[in-house]
Structure 1
Amino acid sequence: MSYRQLAEDIIKHIGTEKNVHSLVHCATRLRFTLNDRSKADKAAIEKLNGVVTVMESGGQFQVVIGNTVPEVYREIGEFTNLLEDSAASSAKSGEESTSLFGKFVDIVSGIFTPLLGVMAGAGILKRSLRHLYQRKMVIS
């Protein structure tokens, strides 16, 4: 599937560009802030060839694509006005925004939320191995 086709399909299943309040991207994800979450078809987006998964975190609808996200983002910008609208809305929301500490907390929680399961699993595994070692059930 081409980047253009993937971009068009994502926008179609998000509920068209009119449902998107803002759009930004990070290294692997398109991060949408939606006007109406109920219009987005999460299952249909997850089935698209080129989409790894879809997550909702920190008030954002995140489409995980992988390393090709800049190309898909660029394609979205070519056939929609979302990139210009996102810049204008983020400038507007910057005026109405929360405190600097609130922004920091939002960023940190957005980064670490997907990692919590992995970190918890690693901690449980480490404690279990330590417990077995103390009982001499495992030789180092």
Structure 2
Amino acid sequence: MDYNKFASTILETVGGEKNVISVGHCATRLRFNLKDDKKADTEFLQNLKGVVGVVNKGGQYQVVIGSDVRNVYK
């Protein structure tokens, strides 16, 4: 997998760099704080190869990737 391309696709799909307040990760998820979560294309992300799921709750927009999350976060 091309992690740089995958990460760029995710970033654009959550509304681009200007829509991201902060981003971090846990063991399996990228955790975004977004300015406007309505700009994120959840349906596209849910169907993107390499994404296990999407969770939007508690003020965080989380993209579930699995154990490769560290490689994507870099």
TM-score, scaled relative to structure 1:
0.51
* Partner in structure 2 of residue 59 of structure 1: 59
Equivalent residues, number: 74
Q: Which has the higher strand share?
A: 2
Residue 9 (structure 1) aligned with residue 9 (structure 2): yes
Q: Percent identity?
A: 53
> Greater RCO between the two (CA within 8 Å, min separation 6)?
2
C-alpha RMSD of the superposition = 0.8
CA shift, 1:5, in A, is: 1.4
Alignment of 1:54-133 (within 5 A): 54-74=54-74
CA shift, 1:33, in A, is: 0.4
Select the structure of larger CA radius of gyration: 1
Unaligned runs of 5+ in 1: 75-140
CA shift, 1:43, in A, is: 0.5
TM-score, scaled relative to structure 2:
0.95
Paired residues of 1:21 and 1:35 also in contact (CA < 8 A) = yes
Moved over 3 A (4+): none
Residue type of the alignment partner of 1:12: E
